[in-house]
Amino acid sequence: MNFAPTLPPGIAFVAVPAGASIKESLLHPEELALLQSTTSEARRIEFARGRVAAHQVLKVLNVGPSPILRIFGTRLPAWPSGVVGSLSHCPLGAVAIGAGENQVEAVGIDVEQERRVRPKLMEKIATTFEKSWVQSGDIISLFSAKECIYKALFPLVRAPLGFRDVEIEPDSSTRLPEWKFRARLLRAYGTKFQLGTSFLIHCLRSPEAKLQSGGSLLSICYILRRK
Ligand SMILES: CC(C)(COP(=O)(O)OP(=O)(O)OC[C@H]1O[C@@H](n2cnc3c(N)ncnc32)[C@H](O)[C@@H]1OP(=O)(O)O)[C@@H](O)C(=O)NCCC(=O)NCCS
């Protein structure tokens, strides 16, 4: 998971690949407590990698060590005051992103292991327009783009958003190896985001993906604060 996304200054990104030796002892006791009822070893490891990536993001931002707990009654990560962040994990590793909330209003991140997906996924998540340009073998990048938009916006609105409430199209600012997608809301989302609001998404494939199947795919979305 050797990603190098191009991001504006002030936005910190960290990836922790599955090969890194991560021990639960690196977590804060309050974070370990969140794992109390989790018996799946794979889930515990992914959680630990996600928290370690988030801690490293705080370090890059010069924010003192702090546990990343959950906002009460939700799975939403509770970042320290003054920080917006997002994290994601898959069997190949974990990624986290964060920034000061005086500069950035929201960030969303998603990492997926490239895999064959059931053809039904296209029906579930794609609009008619998206079906006209997404190749069926690459539905995972559409899925990931929508997940990262949701993860950026949900903390601000706290309401459901359907996969077909957002439409994605390739953006002409793409400079490989980083794809840019433009996401547009097909309905108003809360009072904050009107119908037609659009967001840019950065999408990268890990270089390992060229060498072997089953690499990973990263999607990032950020909303800069208007001055
Ligand atoms: C919330 C959701 C996006 C999380 O995805 P996931 O499959 O668990 O996988 P990821 O590894 O990418 O993300 C997990 C992390 O996201 C964070 N998270 C969980 N719920 C979240 C939410 N509602 N908003 C933002 N972040 C969230 C947590 O930090 C979580 O990790 P943790 O449990 O270890 O703390 C997904 O489960 C979901 O509900 N999707 C359906 C809705 C959707 O995507 N709609 C798209 C509309 S365009």
Instruction: Establish whether residue 161 lines the binding site of ligand 1, counting it when its CB lies within 6 angstroms of any ligand atom.
Output: yes
142-149 mean pLDDT: 96
What is the rounded CA–CA span in Å between residue 202 and residue 2? 15
Nearest CA to ligand 1 atom 34: 47
Ligand 1 test: best mutation among 75, 89, 156, most atoms within 8 Å of CB?
75
- Torsion sign over Cα 184, 176, 99, 2: positive
Residue-wise pLDDT for 169-223, tens only, equals 999 999 988 999 999 999 999 999 999 999 999 999 987 655 556 689 999 999 9
* Total-model pTM: 0.95
More confident residue, 210 or 80: 80
pLDDT for res 212: 55
Q: Where are the alpha helices (DSSP H) in 29-172?
A: 29-34, 41-60, 120-125, 128-133, 139-157
What is the rounded CA–CA span in Å between residue 88 and residue 109? 6
Ligand 1 atom closest to Cα of 90? 11
Tokens 């990104």: give the residue. Answer: 13
Instruction: Establish whether residue 50 lines the binding site of ligand 1, counting it when its CB lies within 6 angstroms of any ligand atom.
Output: yes
Ligand 1 atom closest to Cα of 89? 11
Residue 93 binned pLDDT confidence (cut-offs 50, 70, 90) = very high
- Torsion sign over Cα 41, 43, 44, 50: positive
Instruction: Establish whether residue 75 lines the binding site of ligand 1, counting it when its CB lies within 6 angstroms of any ligand atom.
Output: yes
Give the closest residue to 101 by CA, choosing from 180, 156, 64, 54: 156
User: At 83, phi and psi to the nearest 5?
Assistant: -120, 135
What is the rounded CA–CA span in Å between residue 164 and residue 52? 33
What is the rounded CA–CA span in Å between residue 154 and residue 148? 10
In this model, does residue 79 exceed pLDDT 70?
A: yes
The domains found in the chain, sorted by start residue, are: 11-224 (3.90.470.20)
What is the rounded CA–CA span in Å between residue 74 and residue 8? 30
172 CA → ligand 1 middle, Å: 28
Contact 94, 68 (CB under 8 A): no
pLDDT for res 117: 79
Residue 219 DSSP SS3? strand
pLDDT for res 140: 92
- Torsion sign over Cα 46, 49, 53, 59: positive
User: Strand 83-90 vs strand 198-205: parallel, antiparallel, or unpaired?
Assistant: unpaired
Instruction: Establish whether residue 85 lines the binding site of ligand 1, counting it when its CB lies within 6 angstroms of any ligand atom.
Output: no
Nearest CA to ligand 1 atom 1: 151
Instruction: Establish whether residue 77 lines the binding site of ligand 1, counting it when its CB lies within 6 angstroms of any ligand atom.
Output: yes
pLDDT for res 210: 58
pLDDT for res 226: 79
152 CA → ligand 1 middle, Å: 10
State which amino acid sits at residue 119: P
Residue-wise pLDDT for 23-66, tens only, equals 888 999 999 999 888 889 999 999 999 999 999 999 999 999 99
Q: Cβ neighbours of residue 94 under 8 Å, at least 6 residues apart? A: 15, 16, 46, 49, 50, 52, 53, 87, 88, 111
Distances (CA, A) of 49 to 94, 148, 188: 6, 19, 35
Nearest CA to ligand 1 atom 29: 77
